[in-house]
């Protein structure tokens, strides 16, 4: 029996940590980005559609104004997209920081 059920309101302090969330431009992935950013993580959203991802990052910044968010293009159906994204890492020119 799990005595510590999952509770996004009790995430550990993630300040100083960087996260990459695939599919973070909508649905469950977007909810994950909000929770991670609220806990202090730098969140990079990796998704196919730059327009949809920019919209999601803007919504994330509105939802978590103290957070740091950005995006990298990633299409998990394209075998070359994954290593390209990995090579770019978190130094993507698309990444922006909220001040």
d(CA 98, CA 83): 27
Domain locations along the chain: 14-88
pLDDT at 93 > cutoff 50: no
Cβ–Cβ contacts within 10 Å for residue 18, how many? 14
Read off φ and ψ for residue 62, nearest 5 degrees: -70, -35
CATH number given to 14-88: 3.40.50.720
Q: Report the chain's mean pLDDT, rounded to a whole number.
A: 84
- The pTM for the full model equals 0.78
């Amino acid at each position: 029996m799990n005595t510590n059920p999952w509770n996004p309101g009790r995430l550990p302090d993630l300040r100083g940590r960087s996260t990459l969330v695939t599919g973070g431009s909508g649905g469950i992935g977007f909810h994950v980005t909000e929770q991670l950013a609220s806990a202090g993580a730098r969140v990079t959203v990796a998704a196919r559609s730059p327009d949809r991802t920019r919209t999601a990052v803007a919504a994330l910044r509105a939802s978590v104004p103290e957070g740091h968010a950005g995006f990298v293009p990633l299409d998990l159906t394209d075998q070359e997209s994954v290593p390209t994204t990995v090579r770019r890492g978190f130094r993507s020119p698309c990444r922006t920081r909220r001040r």
